[in-house]
Amino acid sequence: MRDTENMEAEMEYDDGEEPSFSDPEDFVDDISDEELLGDVLRDKPQEADGIDSVVVVDNVPQVGPERLEKLKNVIQKIFSKFGKITNEFYPDADGKTKGYIFLEYSAPSHAHEAVKNADGYKLDKQHTFRVNLFTDFDKYMSICDEWEAPEKQPFKDFGNLRHWLEDPDCRDQYSVIYDSGERTGIFANDVKEPIEIEERARWTETYVRWSPKGTYLATFHQRGIALWGGEKFKQIQRFSHQGVQLIDFSPCERYVVTFSPLLDTKDDPQAIIIWDVLTGHKKRGFHCESSAHWPIFKWSPDGKFFARMTLDTLSIYETPSMGLLDKKSLKINGIKDFSWSPGDNIIAFWVPEDKDIPARVTLMQLPSRNEIRVRNLFNVVDCKLHWQKNGDYLCVKVDRTPKGTQGVVTNFEIFRMREKQVPVDVVEMKESIIAFAWEPNGSKFAVLHGEAPRINVSFYHVKNNGKIDLIKMFDKQQANSIFWSPQGQFLVLAGLRSMNGALAFVDTSDCTMMNIAEHYMASDVEWDPTGRYVVTSVSWWSHKVDNAFWLWTFQGRLLQKTNKERFCQLLWRPRPPSLLTQEQIKLIKKDLKKYSKIFEQKDRLSQSKASKELVDKRRSMMEEYRKYRERAVDMYNEQRPLRLELRGGVNTDELDSNVDDWEEETIEKKTSHSLLLTTTALNVGLGIVKKISITIPIP
């Protein structure tokens, strides 16, 4: 039938008559344009009046005509960095601006960027900008008058982020990258052998990094950074930064800084990004031409400020606004280097000589910017800034070329930060300096000086009477690095890489050499946070054979050798500062002998694996018994109402309960050799009988 119709249609067409394509009269079109041409309509130009590119800036200073031009220049300087401003309007009344303005950008994306970055910008003490899109007013006007409860967000439980601090044996953890970077593991340190906590393949693409307090583990990926934590190392946060290569945390762990050489543009700085760790939001982006001196930004010890150095400029920013402190950078001609005090919001920086103007080291208090100490220096070649861990001392290593002499002389300028007017002591050394390091929690410092094969190490003590004493010097040392224990007193002198891994363990309390050892071709030395153990390692990244890490006691006794195929990196997990006060710590140290027996007993039990297994078995049995007893007590308590019901409401749980209901009778029976006493007690209500018999011999 269909074929016949087609033939008839063809015949009609062949006759020269044009076929009809009109719909029948009763045809109903039920297909919308969106369904039929959705992809085309989406690309259709939209009618717009430009208001989506307009922002409204509130809390702007109210000024008269004489200051209007200056205000416009300030506004242009602040807001033009987000995009091209095509129009601006400053409403006025009674000869003054009204305190709000309208800015129109060339594109809506620029307006969104201005709202994102300039809202909350602090212009001065009285004026903090509030920036909104003009289109937001329609949105706010259409808000329903009836309040609706916000949707409840599910709670994300990442577990206890500091669970490792609750380990009953106080084991510290460390991360290990091996198999040429293919595998990453987290281990708990144990004297016998490492205890694996977590191990994953391709956990990171390059290396890992712990946050300053050990809360997070950062891993690197092509698309960005991921943070992990909790007992099972779940992913807590991620930051999208294509091609990220470097990372740095603020000391308070609230912010993280990432660097990538990709995607940086003039209008949208992406080389360096500062992120909020808790929310994962981008706080601010910065340009960066080179990452040779990482970290580019250096943080104050409390995380409230961070600073960077550019040509003749020191820029200090404040959190959480991420804006310049006091809205301007410091102009410091020729500034070469700067460093924050680890204990206070103080910045130290140095400037080289300029013609007749001497070089100088300046200590500046923040946020007041008061210069608390300036030290002039002459004939300076170079300076290095070394802070003691608590910020009690600053050592400025000054390389000088005195007039009339050849060669370089080194002065150590020691600033006593806790004393009035910050007095400075000087230690001069005529030999070349290889390494310098402060004792972390003390007033001693160590210096490696000389040239191979006559390398010497000298130990100095900064005394309270204004003197610096040389307390000991060891000559002919095979060392190029100094590694102090985090707790002070003990250190390791290491000859890394080219010096074949020579190791010397020193106790600086009496300057004795506790042990001399060697880890051939060692490339790294890492102290654990407590200062009890130290690890030496040969990384596959620097040497392709003998890749392993060795664990030593602080006295230099080798405990274990751990070989990992193509081992790359070991990092100890940091510990947060102790919550104990100095008085509590002193009391614990005073009573340490009281606890020593418990520790010695634990040490004896852990001497052999068999005893450890026995202890674990006994602990397991004790735990099973404890759980069984808890179940039995719970069942006993649950059955109490039933017992009362069966016994007529009389409580028989206690042996001496209901003593008034008992009737007692004692019968005395005497024989020629003994006396028999029988006591019978009868509870009339319950029908319970208790009978006690005692036989007493008669002499």
Domain boundaries, given as residue ranges, for the chain: 51-141
d(CA 52, CA 82): 15
CB 313 within 8 A of CB 331: yes
427 touches 433 (CB < 8 A) = no
User: What residue type is 132 in one-letter code?
Assistant: N
Q: 15-19, 46-50, 307-311: which has the highest mean pLDDT?
A: 307-311
Percent of the chain with pLDDT over 90: 57
List strands edge to edge, sheet with 195-201: 195-201, 183-188, 173-178, 569-572
**Nearest of 321, 438, 345, 320 to residue 384 by alpha carbon:** 438
Measure the CA–CA gap between 129 and 608, rounded to whole angstroms: 68
How do residues 626-668 score in pLDDT, each as one tens digit? Answer: 999 999 999 988 988 888 888 877 777 765 555 555 566 666 6
Those residues with Cβ within 8 angstroms of residue 666's Cβ, 6 or more apart along the chain or in another chain: 677, 678, 679, 680
Task: Decide: 394 and 386 in contact? Cβ < 8 Å.
Answer: yes
Over the Cα atoms of the chain, what is R_g?
Answer: 39
Find out whether 386 and 395 touch, Cβ atoms under 8 Å.
yes
User: Is the confidence at residue 569, as pLDDT, over 50?
Assistant: yes
Structural tokens at position 45? 């130009």
**Which among 22-26, 39-43, 390-394, 687-691 has the top mean pLDDT?**
390-394
How many residues does this entry show for the chain?
699
> What's the one-letter identity of residue 24?
P
Q: How far is CA 135 from the centre of its chain?
A: 40
Question: Per-residue DSSP letters for 233-288?
Answer: TEEEEEEE-TT--EEEE-TTSSEEEEE-SSS--SSS--SEEEEETTT--EEEEE--
* pLDDT tens-digit readout, 111-169: 988 888 888 888 887 888 999 998 888 777 777 888 888 888 787 778 889 999 998 88
Task: List Cα–Cα distances, 309 to 81, 195, 289, in angstroms.
Answer: 20, 44, 13
Listed in sequence order, the residues at least 6 apart from 364 whose beta carbon sits closer than 8 Å to its beta carbon are: 346, 347, 348, 349, 370, 371, 372
Nearest to 265 by CA among 129, 104, 116, 113: 113
Beta carbons of 230 and 160 less than 8 angstroms apart: yes
The pLDDT, as a whole number, for residue 102 is 94
Listed in sequence order, the residues at least 6 apart from 301 whose beta carbon sits closer than 8 Å to its beta carbon are 251, 340, 341, 342, 343, 344, 345, 391
Residue 180, Ramachandran bin (φ over 0: left; ψ between -120 and 50: alpha; else beta) = left
The answer to whether the beta carbons of residues 129 and 120 sit under 8 Å apart is yes
Whole-angstrom distance, CA of residue 257 vs CA of residue 247: 6
Q: What is the pLDDT of residues 224-257, one digit of tens each?
A: 999 999 999 999 999 999 999 999 999 999 999 9
What H or E segment, with its residue span, contains residue 224? strand 224-229
| pTM tops 0.85 | no
What mean pLDDT is reported for the chain? 86
392: tokens are: 């009690």
pLDDT of residue 119: 86
The pLDDT assigned to 669 comes to 60
User: How far apart are the C-alpha atoms of 559 and 400, rounded to whole Å?
Assistant: 45
Say whether pLDDT at 2 is over 50.
no
Residue 399 host element (H or E): strand 393-400
Residues 261 and 271: beta-carbon distance below 8 Å? yes
For residue 200, the cross-strand partners are 184
What residues contact 609, with CB distance under 8 A and at least 6 apart?
192
The residues that bridge with 446 in the sheet, in sequence order, are: 437, 459
Q: How far is it, in rounded angstroms, from Cα 110 to Cα 53?
A: 7
- Residue 675 confidence (pLDDT): 56
Domain 51-141 class, CATH top level: alpha beta
- Name every residue whose Cβ is closer than 8 Å to that of residue 439 and which is 6 or more positions away in sequence: 388, 445, 446, 484, 488, 489, 491, 508
Q: Which one, of 197, 191, 202, lies nearest residue 174 by Cα?
A: 197
Four-residue CA torsion sign, 434, 570, 555, 486: positive
* Residue whose pair of structure tokens reads 């040509």 in the numeric block: 311
Q: Which helix (H) or strand (E) holds 592?
A: helix 592-605
Q: How far apart are CA 82 and CA 89, in angstroms?
A: 18
Q: Is the pLDDT of residue 4 over 70?
A: no
Per-residue pLDDT at 46: 55
100 close to 91: Cβ distance less than 8 angstroms = yes
**Tell me: the pLDDT tens digits for 78-106?**
898 888 999 999 999 888 999 999 999 98
Nearest CA-CA partner of 462 in 490, 510, 423, 429 = 423
- How far is the C-alpha of 133 from the C-alpha of 425, rounded, in Å? 59
**How many Cβ atoms from other residues are within 10 Å of residue 111's Cβ?**
26
pLDDT digits (tens, 9 = 90+) for 416-444: 999 999 999 999 998 999 999 999 989 99
Confidence of residue 488 (pLDDT cuts 50, 70, 90): very high
- The phi and psi torsions of 397 (rounded to 5 degrees) equal -85, 115
- 645-654 pLDDT, tens digit each: 888 777 777 6
Cα separation of 127 and 487, whole Å?
47
Longest C-alpha distance within the chain, in Å?
Answer: 151
Confidence of residue 340 (pLDDT cuts 50, 70, 90): very high
308: which strand partners? 315
Residue owning tokens 């070329």 = 401
